Amino acid sequence: MIHVTREEALEYHRLNGVPGKISVVPSKPLESQRDLSLAYTPGVAAPVLEIDRDPQLAYEFTGKGNLVAVVSNGTAILGLGNRGALASKPVMEGKGVLFKKFANIDVFDIEVATEDPDRLIDVVAAIAPTFGGINLEDIRSPECFYVETRLQEMLDIPVFHDDQHGTAIILGAALINALELTGRTFGEIRVVFSGAGAAAIACANQLVKLGVPVENIQMCDLAGLVYQGRKEMMFPEKEIYARGDRPATLAQVMEGADVFIGLSAANVVSPEMLQRMRANPIVFAMANPEPEIPYDVAVKARPDAIVATGRSDYPNQVNNVLGFPFIFRGALDTRARQINDAMKIAASHALARLAKEPVPVPVLRAYGTDRLEFGRDYLVPKPLDPRVCQWEAGAVARAAVASGVARRQLDLEQYESKLADLSRNR
């Protein structure tokens, strides 16, 4: 188990006298007068005129096609709440590091000092020509639904709110495999959520796309069960999951459930609540940094359970780092207009399949173990597994082409071979 102190974290962010975690470096030589003339005036006029003639040539002559904006207004930073745009910058820089490390995607982090969702939309739309994709981050619910939807309607590049869909895609992969291990199907399970914000609703939406009947999903938030006719803390995206016509507690709703999914707060689930679930329960307690029920407590209370958390120091980490770099890699390389449902589902299935493959020795070494094997303690691949890029980005690219949102047709077998080379050399 790895513990990081506050002092260690602060020192990391100012290590060697260089503040922050990202920088910009040139990708072309700039050593001579000729180089300078090509990079700037007069040479730069040539691509300007070509892009004016055909805007799609921006993908050929600029970094647009490999550049993502990571955008936040800081209204919902991790589990820290509304800390403002500037305080979100370390997180957005962190996303940039992960994009670059795992998928070789360049990032500009954009912190926007407004809590007005319409102003945020206007800012992002105005700067969108710079980028091949937009990753929205740490924007509070329910405004995040509106912001994402409006930008998707306005722009012809992928707009992806990772707090929603990233978690949902990894959860989908983990649940595909957990159901296989326990002999269940999506169509028969009853699922209970603790939490009804952006991530929970996106996860529920992903489960419906994978085959869970919407009527089999129940959500609880601070006010208890989300039920029909409830007035408190409701908005349209949550209304879809209103069940029943009277209040109930999380403990009451969990009785007899097959699956518990936590995207809420620490220690809201007791051992007794797990003991009232069905045999072989699936317990995904993903609140960070502390889950809804501690991993060890959950396993002790229900030895027959499959347990996952959002933490890297326990088995079955459900974490969006397994998603966004590779989803954007596939979307950018096909010049997709959007990241659609087909691409999200393809990502979930690709991760689920990869977990069943033998794990390479270098990955075992990276995690300090001599064995990782598909089963109750290994539902999804590890983030440091270099094969994730090939499997997931390749699946996303295939889905983009098949679903008609790709503007660039690839030789997909050749593309996946290229991804494998990228993974080996990262």
The secondary structure element, H or E, covering residue 262 is: strand 259-262
**Alpha-carbon separation of residue 105 from 68, 329, 347 (angstroms):** 7, 7, 18
254/294 Cα distance (integer angstroms)? 17
β-partners of residue 174 are none
Size of the chain, expressed as the number of residues it contains: 426
3-state secondary structure at position 384? coil
Residue positions annotated with a catalytic role: 40, 95
Query: What are the backbone dihedrals phi and psi of residue 363, each rounded to the nearest 5 degrees, phi first?
Result: -70, -40
Q: CB neighbours of 52 closer than 8 A, spacing ≥ 6? A: none
Q: Exposure pattern of 3-17 as b/e (b: 16+ CB <10 Å)?
A: eeeeeeeeeeeeeee
Residue 320, helix vs strand vs coil: helix
Tokens of 215: 């009527």
Torsion of CA 84, 85, 88, 92, to 10 degrees: 160
* Tokens, residue 183: 């002999």
What is residue 208's three-state secondary structure? helix
Query: Phi and psi of 37, rounded to 5°?
Result: -70, -30
Dihedral angle of Cα 65, 69, 70, 72, to the nearest 10 degrees: -160
User: 232: buried, middle or exposed (CB in 10 Å: 19+, 13-18, 0-12)?
Assistant: exposed
Read off the tokens for 214: 């919407």
CB-based contacts of 224, cutoff 8 Å, min separation 6: 247, 248, 249, 250
